[in-house]
Structure 1
Amino acid sequence: MAEGGQEAVRADEKVVPIRRVRELENRVRELGRLLGSKAMESEILRESLEQAVQKKHASRLPSPPP
């Protein structure tokens, strides 16, 4: 740990407590989960819209002759 701190100081980087790193990792996981959920929701809505448009176009087609 001391070597890592010295290395960070030599590299002119901030030393961050492990607690903060874990908090940020948890936040990244949470945001990834939310992003996946939103992507799935978007895909469902896109497919629903495509089906609605197809039904609308199909209802405008002339009826086949008897």
Structure 2
Amino acid sequence: MCGRSASTSSRRDLLSAFEATKAVGEELPPSYNIAPTKRVDVVLEGSPSDEPGVDPVRQVKQ
């Protein structure tokens, strides 16, 4: 059997919990049976530029 998981947090909850600055893509409904091929929201952290001293930003994406 493959591993499955649940995703019940709203975009607003994810943005708040991870102090993300923006969300990209459409909001997905809650799911209690996420298959390996199903689209889910992820939180990404990265620097908006390669310049030193620029703080990384967090985004919620699909």
TM above 0.5, yes or no, is: no
Higher-helix-fraction structure:
1
Kindly indicate whether structure 1 or structure 2 has the higher relative contact order, using CA contacts under 8 Å at least 6 residues apart: 2
Report TM bin, short chain.
under 0.3
- TM-score normalized by the length of structure 1: 0.18
